[in-house]
A and B are shown apart, each in its own frame.
Chain A
Amino acid sequence: MSIILVLGLLLVSPSISVAEESRYGLGLPAGEAAIKAWDIDVNPTGIGLPPGRGTVQQGAIIYENKCAACHGPTGIEGPKDRLIGGQGSLTTAQPIKTIGSYWPYATTLYDYIFRAMPFTAPQSLTSDEVYALVTWLLHQNGIIPKDAVIDARTLPAVTMPNRGGFVSDPRPDVPGH
């Protein structure tokens, strides 16, 4: 047994890199299934978007049933975040930050609605339901036409009105005295 162990070490040692020697050997390999179960994020290029599709009409029904109680019948009334309108308001004394006026990427809508909404039942919507809501919200904001179909291919191609509205941090920008 000890001979086998020694032989094993001799065989393995030369292939261990310096970086690997500095590891502590803790943790377990994460299998594909485990990663898939948790890997819910969607990036601006559309990576992470699942199969599925939605229309404005489908979205209107889901919105009425699952969203209107918090965001208002048309996405404006609240009491929670206003979702519609506000374009042109960002330079005024009363900026209205909505999906249409502020959000730079349409893909973020899918990511956020799936991960965090509805507030009382997050991650309960199917991919078709999320696509439908995204479609309705983009249409209500005047970004896509009424007959648009949103899926993993079309969503990353949507250009949001405030796409160019973000700059990097220039601080320190204010002099002390």
Chain B
Amino acid sequence: MNPFDGEMHASSEEGTEQEARVDRRTWLTEVVSLVGVTAAGLITPALLPAEEGASPAPTHVPGRGPSPYGLRTEGETVQRLTTATHSLTPHQSLHGIITPSALHFERHHNGVPSINPDRHRLMIHGLVDRPLTFAMNDLVRFPSVTRTLFIECSGNSGHEWKGPSGKTVQDTHGLMSTSEWTGVPLATVLAESGVKPDASWVLAEGSDAAAMTRSLPLTEVLKDALLCYAQNGEALRPEQGYPLRLVIPGWEGNTCIKWIRRLKLGTAPFMTREETSRYTDLMPDGKSRQFTFVMEAKSVITSPSGGQRIEPGFVEIRGLAWSGLGSVRAVDVSADGGRTWHPTQLQAPVLPRCHTRFRFGWRWNGDETIIQSRCTDETGYVQPTRTALVASRGTNSFYHYNAIHSWKIDQQGNVTNVSV
């Protein structure tokens, strides 16, 4: 019998997250008990670390069979941090640019609705020639588009306006993620209804318990907004808007209305709560900026980052950079608190309105220092320092914080969140 087909694995497949976080030592012991003490005693590869020596070599034990839906291996326990209203992506533990769908950040305004896709409809009405409703089967028949795009909550790093907030990069920058999104261009679906010449704004409304709405300027969203039904090759996750969401490349996440059910065309913004009392940016003079859709260029070092510890010697500084205005042109890194800057290597492909991974090989000599990254996008916009950003906008503007981020490394190699 294949020992990996035993009860232990059946329970871990169906188990809760807590059960899944089986202590590695416990797990190894159970494997050994299934295989038998004798076998474990015989198999002690000298090249493996001592702890591994107690377990049977995988080359001597048949592996387990396929699972219908893929599982993480035991011991890999990286997960989102969740609150009542949002969950944060653990960037300190991820690689590449794609965020695993299960780890994609979420923000909702009254929970994740449970929607039967057969009953879901998208309605288009208002200033159109023909008001229409679409079933999901209709929407997937349209010519489709797939794009790899970041989505960033406008409140990502919002607590940093007041100074260093969270401990880790998940705390400070976890409200952003990247997926490969598939759907139909909004322009294609609107053309089906026919847009009247005087229409200039569109209200997008979700079918969640907040009936979340945003007014969007029609000319802008006709350029590249997508009505998406798939993420990273499979149906959207419920937290991401299943069965249908809007994705507007480079715009603040809340405009990417999830569980979307209605598009209404009009001549002016509808001035919903979300674009008046929320998602507006309060300036020092008491005026608030409204319809600040674009997420400006930003970057952050994800490794080493807050809560981690490094050793003297070679350290590859790694991170993510992005711009809502297009592609990342360059990312510079400083390892001396901003006195000198060094160009980094960008990982291809560098896609517009998508996370771009950067890397910089560095040798840490054990001295206390501050590491930072600075993004420049294809428009020539350079990510500002915290000093410059706060000088311009004050500290009452919770959204759109995109300043250069600083991690301090102390003499023991501990990395902490600081502002300079």
Contact = CB atoms under 8 A, between A and B. Distances in A.
- Is chain B found bound to chain A in the same assembly? yes
Interface of A: 19, 22-24, 26-30, 34-35, 38-44, 90-91, 93, 95, 97, 99, 102-105, 107-108, 111-112, 115-116, 119, 122-123, 165-177
Contacts of A115: 210-211, 213
A171 B294 contact: yes
Contacts of A93: 395-396
A79 to B, nearest CB: 12
B191 interface: yes
Given A29-B133, A172-B381, 10 more contacts: A29-B132, A30-B133, A44-B270, A91-B285, A112-B273, A166-B287, A166-B288, A173-B392, A176-B382, A177-B385
A123 B205 CA distance: 14
B362 interface: no
Contacts of A40: 211
A107 B192 contact: no
B272 A174 contact: no
Contacts of B287: 165-167
A124 B384 CA distance: 47
Given A116-B210, A177-B385, A39 B194 contact: no
A119 B208 CA distance: 12
Nearest to A43: B270
Nearest to A22: B191
Interface string B357-397: 00000000000000000101000011111001100110110
A112 B133 contact: no
A169 B290 contact: yes
B119 to A, nearest CB: 13
A169 B291 contact: yes
B258 interface: no
Given A34-B133, A95-B396, A112-B273, A171 B292 contact: yes
A177 B271 contact: no
Contacts of A108: 271-273, 276-277
B107 to A, nearest CB: 15
A102 B278 CA distance: 10
B314 interface: no
Interface stretch (B20-28, B134-142, B229-237): B134-142
B289 A168 contact: yes
Contact of A168 (B130, B138, B192, B290): B290
Contacts of A103: 273, 276-277
B110 A122 contact: yes
Given A24-B142, A26-B141, A95-B282, A177 B388 contact: yes
Interface of B: 109-110, 123-125, 130-134, 138-139, 141-142, 188, 191-194, 203, 205, 209-211, 213, 261-262, 264, 266, 268, 270-273, 276-277, 280, 282, 284-294, 296, 374, 376, 381-385, 388-389, 392-393, 395-396
Contacts of B193: 27
A35 B123 contact: yes
A112 B393 CA distance: 28
Contacts of B110: 116, 119, 122
A130 B267 CA distance: 26
B192 A27 contact: yes
Contacts of B262: 38-39
A40 to B, nearest CB: 7
Contact of B123 (A34, A44, A172, A177): A34
B288 A116 contact: no
B290 A29 contact: no
A105 B264 contact: no
Nearest to A27: B132
B123 A176 contact: no
Given A26-B192, A122-B211, A176-B381, A166 B396 contact: no
B272 A111 contact: yes
A172 B193 CA distance: 35
Nearest to B374: A176
B138 A176 contact: no
A90 B280 CA distance: 13
Contacts of A102: 276-277, 288
Contacts of A99: 277
Contacts of B270: 41-44, 111
A111 B273 contact: yes
7 contacts: A41-B213, A95-B396, A111-B273, A166-B288, A168-B290, A176-B383, A176-B388
Nearest to A47: B266
Contacts of B139: 26
A27 B134 CA distance: 5
Contacts of B388: 174-177
